Homo-oligomer: A and B are copies of this chain.
Amino acid sequence: MSLIGTKWKPLILFHLLNGGVRSGVLQKKIPGISNKMFTQTVRELEKDGLVIRKIFPVVPPKVEYKLSERGFSLEGILRSLDSWGLEDSKH
């Protein structure tokens, strides 16, 4: 479960289903996440092989995240979770 069984991972993965996004943009899509947790989480997802991190050597930094193939294999689950309403409902 560690792959998606955390507070933020599924949410981040879900937002990446539509394609790669710049770091800052992605983070803004996740209200309530702290800077630290965001970085930490995407980095873990990268280690898990679910997302790919692309760095552009420019200043100020530019980094894009996108799903890996493995990440996309979760699409069904992610969409199920979403439509099941897990992100919102109680608790």
Given that A1-B86, A86-B4, A89-B3 are known contacts, is A77 also in contact with B74, CB under 8 Å in the complex?
no
Which chain B positions have C-beta within 8 A of A76? 80
A interface, size bucket? 20 to 34
**What is the CA–CA distance of A80 and B86 in the complex, to the nearest angstrom?**
16
B90 touches A2 (CB 8 A): yes
Q: Which of A30-60 contact B (CB under 8 A)?
A: 48
A62 within 8 A of B: no
A84 touches B91 (CB 8 A): no
Which chain B positions have C-beta within 8 A of A91? 2-3, 48
Chain B residue nearest in CB terms to A70: B84
Which chain B positions have C-beta within 8 A of A90? 2-3, 48
5 closest cross-chain pairs (CB), A and B? A2-B91, A77-B80, A1-B86, A3-B86, A5-B5
